[in-house]
Amino acid sequence: MSFTPIQGQYPPIPTPFAGERIANQALADNIARWNDEPLEGYVVLGSNGEAIMLTDDERREVVRTARRAIPEGKRRMIVGAGREWTAATIGAVREAFDMGADAVLVGLPSYYKPAMTSRAIEAYYREVADASPGPVILYSVPAFTGIPIPPEVVAALAPHPSIVGIKDSAGDIENLRALSRIAREHGDEFSVLIGNAGLLAEGIMSGSRGAVLAVANVAPRQCDRIIEAARRGDAREANGGLETLLPLARLVTRTHGIGGLKAALDLLGYHGGEPRRPLEAPDAAAREEIAARLRDLGLLG
């Protein structure tokens, strides 16, 4: 499959709501503003997009709105398309490409964890990739699924012509290095994308080509500077920038989750709003904590 390698930043964009409805204009407005930032594209319907909490019709609504707002040919739209069984995932993958996806991000079925052996994981991705009309990116996020994708499975899948990379959110630098070694064996055909902000500098220096980070929604230029320094091999600048960024990154991920990320967007004049229940929005003290970290980075007056 002919596909320009994936590199650079692809923030996993949140889904704004108006009450219980998708706020389509708010989503389009956010993307219009992000289009002026140093981003290669967007991940739509990822974990930060609350995809698991959307109906199929709502997911289609989000993808259609995003596709209209994202400049075709200038920025890629990667669509989350994993489901709990193979046939459903294949259907979601095909539908995503029908609606204009440039690639799909496919996570693992996770309800029947004991059944998801290395053999089952490889068979799942191989069947999905065989049926996909476009590029497939593997998605390893054991914090949510409880199931990492083992490097040996990635090595077996990487030669598949439709599989073009992996987003690794395991947060394990040795695992990330192992994936980068696999990627190097396949040249431009396979990319590793970092899904954990704490590994951004070292991951890029170890061979990862890009990142899918929640914090890139609110601090894309800071993330870009770290990536560029790491590509130059300037460990001091890359690690120094990351040290400054990490307090905010932690607040909008592990500490306050999607509610924290949406609060940060609100503070910066984007449309964040509240997450869908039972997820909670941060309280006033947490919002002030987020605002303080935004001020530290010069993002908020």
Enter the DSSP assignment of 75: S
Give helix then strand counts, H and E, for the chain.
12, 10
For the record, the structure tokens of 221 come out as 């230029």
Q: How far apart are CA 252 and CA 249, in angstroms?
A: 5
> Please, are residues 262 and 14 in contact by the beta-carbon 8 Å criterion?
yes
> Please, are residues 163 and 136 in contact by the beta-carbon 8 Å criterion?
yes
Catalytic residue status for 167: yes
Q: What angle do CA 193, 217, 258 make, to 5 degrees?
A: 95
Active-site annotation holder among 74, 113, 167, 262: 167
Q: What angle do CA 137, 79, 280 make, to 5 degrees?
A: 110
Report the 10 Å Cβ neighbour count for 34: 20
> Please, are residues 44 and 13 in contact by the beta-carbon 8 Å criterion?
yes
Backbone angles phi, psi at 186, to 5 degrees: -115, 10
Using alpha carbons, list the distances in angstroms from residue 288 to 17, 81, 203, 221, 244: 22, 35, 31, 22, 18
- Annotated catalytic sites, by residue? 167
